[in-house]
Amino acid sequence: MRPEYIFMDLDGTISDPKEGITKAVAHALSYYGIRVENLDTLEKFIGPPLLDSFRDFYGFSEERSREAIEKYREYFGSQGLFENVLYDGMKELLAAVVSHGKKIAIATSKPEVYTVQILKYFGIEHYFQFVAGSTLDGGRSKKGDVIRYALDSLKITADQAVMVGDRKHDVIGAKENGMYAVGVLYGYGDRKELETAGADCIVTDVEELKKKLIDL
């Protein structure tokens, strides 16, 4: 069966959110007296759920991680979400995929409320049939849960969709749901990460991704 739906991650797949996310993380860490001189060192926060990242990278307890997320949102919710750029050729990719009869949905660990704002900011919200993300209270942040929510909401089976993302979380989440996974190398994951996670296909750039999605 040819997949009807394309599920796409947002950060590192559709747009590059580096400036906004790293500044928001630095804002949160500063509350705890942690100063970050080089924002590049915070790129590792792009992709995984924030709750996991504050715990894994800074040893925060779950309670402190949740508090840090609130501090993160002080910056991100008002400014950081707009410090974000579409990857070159992405609008053309979305238009081409839709013109070939595919339906596109977002599957992201970012809260849905921010995701919708970002899509509208870029003027691309009309390309998407559905937006699946996390909730502000921390629910549904794991990528596998987000994908399951999207499948259930759209009333489709895993063989009717493919998942596209730049990090292992996207691939692992797809595999947890029995879905074909396409990894992209222009985001924040590398080939080894995507291969180890079990990606069925890996593309180098947006143009290659466009051709792959049209041919699926």
Residues designated catalytic: 9
Q: Report the phi/psi class of residue 123: left, alpha or beta, with left for phi > 0 and alpha for psi in -120 to 50.
A: left
Asked whether the beta carbons of 169 and 48 are under 8 A apart, the reply is yes
Q: What angle do CA 156, 133, 20 make, to 5 degrees?
A: 145
Give the separation between CA 51 and CA 82, rounded to whole angstroms. Answer: 22
Query: Whose CA is closest to 174, among 163, 185, 182?
Result: 163
State the pairing for strand pair 15-16/5-8.
Answer: unpaired
Give alpha helix (H) positions in the chain: 18-31, 50-58, 62-76, 90-99, 112-122, 143-154, 168-176, 191-197, 206-215
Query: Whose CA is closest to 55, among 145, 141, 155, 166?
Result: 141
Query: Whose CA is closest to 91, among 180, 207, 214?
Result: 207
